[in-house]
Amino acid sequence: MKRFLSAGILVLAAVLLCASRAAAWDYEVHRFVNQLALAALPTNYPAFARTPVARERIAFLAGEPDRWRNTLDLPLRHVNGPDHYFDLEDLAKYGLTTESLPPFRYEFVAQLVRGRAIHARDFPVGDTAKDQDRTRSLIGFLPWAMTEYYAKLKSGFSSLRELEAAGTPEEVANARENIIYVMGVMGHFVGDATQPLHTTSHFNGWTGPNPNHYTTSRSFHSWIDAGFLQKAGVKTNEVFAQVRPAKVPWTDAATSRTNAFAEMLAFVVEQGKLVEPLYQLQKDGKLTVEGQAADTGRAFLTVQLLKAGQMLGDLWLTAWQEAPPDTFLRAELARRNPAGAAEPKEK
């Protein structure tokens, strides 16, 4: 379903290692997730990505996909919006399960088309005048977006290694900037995945049959993204203290070198299991900001923040470690410098 709210995940203090509260919620939380991921990287991770300037750039870029929402250009809104979410329970309407999903975005689109044709009664014709960017009926593409950005980062490291060996200083500098950009932007989508309301059609108040009497408030999403932790507060130094060193997040390395979709999907599915617990917290009064009731809600959401930062750091590390040689670029550089007399490179 179309998201009318900006795609933050939670709220917390904006300043690193500071206990003060945030002032710009959606951007600040995505920024903080990227900062957590940076804190998880090992000291031998490429130094160009860990300079103060690069850290600030990576943190800033965490908000970039939400900034793309500022345009009235419908084609961009159409392609960007659905990358922020994935309505897991809607798969059944198409006759699909998570086990049947392909790693290729457009093959998945073809599955959706076939499913709509077979189950046409479940898909009434919408009012296109109220759906100008044609996203209201889309189920979302979040796991594919995560997979594609991870692959882009690996590609960037592959190119960089060849350019560091035989490219010009300008080419090396540009390749490094490309990596920093992808690191920052991909962090946004990993952050979105850990906000349970980005994995469900119940993204802003429960819809349809509601036997458990969960809230139907149309402000629920914004309360999770911004309101609750703005008032309840989270000490960022306590979150940073829990960051573990980044590691490869999967065991099937051979498969993940060419297709990490299964792992990305599994991550999203795990966060989807938290949708009802989140609604139950609200029902039980644990997402209020008065007294000890706030502690449970704060703990729940803080875990999600940490989970996002850890997964992102793991993906950054793994993309660097598993980036394969770029044999095409190597051959092109060799033809350009047949004697191997490349200019000295800055390391």
The confidence score (pLDDT) of residue 256 equals 66
Please name the residue that has the structure tokens 């992102």. 312
The residue type of 173 is: A
Per-residue DSSP letter, 214: -
Q: How far apart are CA 135 and CA 21, in angstroms?
A: 34
What integer pLDDT is reported at residue 101 of this predicted model? 97
Would you tell me how many other CB atoms lie within 10 Å of the CB of residue 165? 15
Burial readout 58-95 (b: 16 or more C-beta within 10 A, e: otherwise) = bbebbbebbebeeeeeeeebeebbbbbbbbbebbebbe
DSSP state letters, 131-154: -TTS-TT--B-HHHHHHHHHHHHH
With beta carbons less than 8 A apart as the criterion, state whether 196 and 271 touch.
Answer: yes
Q: How many residues does the chain have?
A: 347
Q: What is the CA radius of gyration of the chain?
A: 21
CA neighbor of 220 nearest in space, from 236, 193, 196 = 196
Sign (positive or negative) of CA dihedral 26, 263, 183, 18: positive
Rounded to whole angstroms, the Cα distance separating 293 from 25 reads: 22
Dihedral sign for Cα 250, 254, 258, 262, please: negative
Number of H-type helices and E-type strands within the chain:
15, 0
CB 306 within 8 A of CB 10: no
In this structure, the number of other CB atoms found within 10 A of the CB of residue 204 comes to 21
Q: What is the pLDDT of residue 152?
A: 98
- In the DSSP assignment, the letter for residue 21 is P
Q: Identify the three-state secondary structure at position 104.
A: coil
State the pLDDT at residue 254.
66
Helix (H, G, I), strand (E, B) or coil at 210: coil
- Structural domains of the chain ordered from first start: 25-336 (1.10.575.10)
For residue 196, the 8-state DSSP code is: G
Distance CA(151)–CA(294), nearest Å, equals 39
pLDDT, tens digit only, all 347 positions of the chain = 444 333 443 433 333 333 332 323 478 889 999 999 999 999 999 999 999 999 999 999 999 999 998 989 999 999 999 999 999 999 999 999 999 999 999 999 999 999 999 988 888 777 778 888 888 888 999 999 999 999 999 999 999 999 999 999 999 999 999 999 999 999 999 999 999 999 999 999 999 999 999 999 999 998 888 778 777 777 788 899 999 999 999 877 666 678 899 999 999 999 999 999 999 999 999 998 877 778 889 899 999 999 999 999 999 999 999 999 999 999 999 999 876 544 545 54
The end-to-end CA distance of the chain, in Å, is 47
How far apart (Å, rounded) are the C-alpha atoms in residues 318 and 157?
11
The DSSP call for residue 140 is: B
Residue type at 208 in one-letter notation: G
pLDDT one-digit tens code per residue, 282-340: 999 999 887 777 888 989 999 999 999 999 999 999 999 999 999 999 999 999 987 65
- DSSP label of 88: G
Q: What is the rounded CA–CA span in Å between residue 330 and residue 160?
A: 11
Q: Are 21 and 27 within 8 A, CB to CB?
A: no
